[in-house]
Structure formats: C-alpha cells, structure tokens
A and B are shown apart, each in its own frame.
Chain A
C-alpha cells in the first residue's frame, strides 16, 4: 500500500525550515528518502530502520516513529539546491520492494 506524503508541495525562502511527512497504514521495516530534480534520477538521501532511529546528514535529517508508522524528513536552513521532489519509499519487510509515496514538491526561492 502506497505511503501518504504531506504536504504535496511547499515553497520556502532560502534559510527557512521544512518538514515532510510520510505515513503508512501498515507496519514498516524501513523508510528510504530520495530527492529527484526535474528530468533527473532520484538521488538517495538516507535509510531509516524500525526502532525509531533518527539520522542526519548536514542540514537534512529524518526520524522514523515505528509506532506511528511515520517518518519525517527535516530540512533546516534550506538552500536553493534543496529544490526538487522528495519521495519516501517504504519496505514492509527486509528485502521487500520499495513502495514510493506520491512525492512532495519543494521549491526554495532566493
């Protein structure tokens, strides 16, 4: 079942923060986050495994709440390069196929 992402779109000024959510109606094993720029391939950002871990990479971090079956991606002090569509991909079990959400379109303006 497809995870639900929210919001569908967000516009930011450079330096502002954003949160993108990914929710599932079923228990998850892992959540993968990707960013895709127009006309390009999705680029891997990070994986989170069940256990409620949180990860960070530069000014982009994410959390995974296993009980709520939800993951959130945090973008702090956004840069112009953060613009793109963010997809979460979820796995029900280890080694399962990734099911992607509908995407969140993020636009960062100067």
Chain B
C-alpha cells in the first residue's frame, strides 16, 4: 500500500540553525500539507500546497517557514532560523483532491531545537 514517507525521523538542531524536513507524498496525490504537533498537544495545520504554490497557510507559518517541491517527488519544509518553540513533531500529509478526500499522514519528523 502506498504511503507518505518522511526523513529524517528525528532531527536535533541548535537554535538559530536552518533545518529542512523532507517528505515524499503518495505518487498520484496532488495536494500536500505540513502539520505540526507539539508534544502532548493537538495537531496544528501549517500550510497546504497545490500546483507548485501555497494554497493556504496558518498564522504559525510565518516568514521563517517555506515550502518547496524541488522535483517531482519531494516536498520540503524549511525553517530558516529555528527557535526553541519550533520543537515538535512535523507531519507531512497528502491527498488526491480536497473535496471528500482523506489526507494520508506520514510518520513524522521529530524536531528538537536545543
């Protein structure tokens, strides 16, 4: 069964450093998402991406964040200058469409900012 994959599974970085989280969505999916989940809290939407551009973003997704689909398979989330409060589990998700289509989540990348 096709699945969303994410690398790395765990990333430790120092405050102020740039990190890139990588995702490979399911191959025939057209819509891509990033979510984050701070330990013990709810899942929070960051951004959605379609047709090589951002279709929607939340208040969390400020200028420190960017997304890119550098090739036909990868979907990346970049955090330019990490802060302690960026420590969280970051989930990538993808879906075939937006109406009536479920979003399939990847296993997540645990980001720890020290």
Contact = CB atoms under 8 A, between A and B. Distances in A.
B98 interface: yes
B102 interface: yes
Contact of B100 (A41, A49, A103): A49
A97 B42 contact: no
Contacts of B56: 96-97
Contacts of A87: 42-43
Interface residues of B, number: 22
Interface residues of A, number: 24
A1 to B, nearest CB: 12
Interface in B37-55: 41-45, 48, 55
B105 A43 contact: yes
Contacts of A30: 100
Q: Which 10 A/B pairs are nearest by Cβ-Cβ distance?
A: A95-B98, A41-B105, A44-B102, A97-B45, A100-B43, A94-B99, A100-B42, A97-B56, A42-B105, A102-B42
